[in-house]
Amino acid sequence: LDQEEALVRSLLRHQPRGIALTGRHHSPGTRALLERAGIPIVEMWDLPERPIDRAVGFSNAKASLAMLHHLHQRGYRRIGFLCGASELDRRGTDRMRGYMSGIKALGLGEPRVIRLGESPITMSHGGPAMAALLDAWPDTDAVMCVSDMSA
């Protein structure tokens, strides 16, 4: 969050006509800078409880839960989840929360979770994580991934 604040401060010196940010978590300093900027601010890929200006996004937890329900409706019952190891990836954490709540609500047993590594997740994390998942649970019949990069 400190890095974002420094970047926003630097960007505002160039007097942009608007700023688009990914995510809903910002430091108090970043929030104050953006609120005072007097330009359109759009927060994307998430749904902040109190948007700075405008928000275009979705609930990552609800999206993950919907994906799990879709797989369940299609007959899958042994569903794994590949995710990052860091709590700093807040969207990934929200997606994990959706998966975990769905596994519990649907009575699908113990979660089948493999943590890929530290953020940012790259394509090189996906293959080894999938191998680890299938080594741990060879009967897995569907896998959800935290991001397109891990898939």
81 and 39 share a domain?
Answer: no
pLDDT digits (tens, 9 = 90+) for 56-103: 999 999 999 999 999 999 999 999 999 988 777 888 999 999 999 999
Mean pLDDT for the chain?
A: 93
151: in domain: no
Which residues fall within 8 angstroms of residue 113, CB to CB, at 6 or more apart? 80, 81, 82, 83, 96, 99
Q: What pLDDT score does 134 carry?
A: 98
11: in domain: yes
The total of structural domains in the chain comes to 2
How far is C-alpha 46 from the chain's CA centre? 9
Can you spell out the DSSP letters for 51-69? -SSEEE---HHHHHHHHHH
Burial zone of 68 (CB within 10 Å; 0-12 exposed, 13-18 middle, 19+ buried): buried
Segments forming the whole domain that contains residue 70:
60-145
Residue 20 reports pLDDT greater than 90: yes
Q: Count CB atoms within 10 A of the CB of residue 10.
A: 9
CATH number for the domain including 18? 3.40.50.2300
pTM over 0.85: no
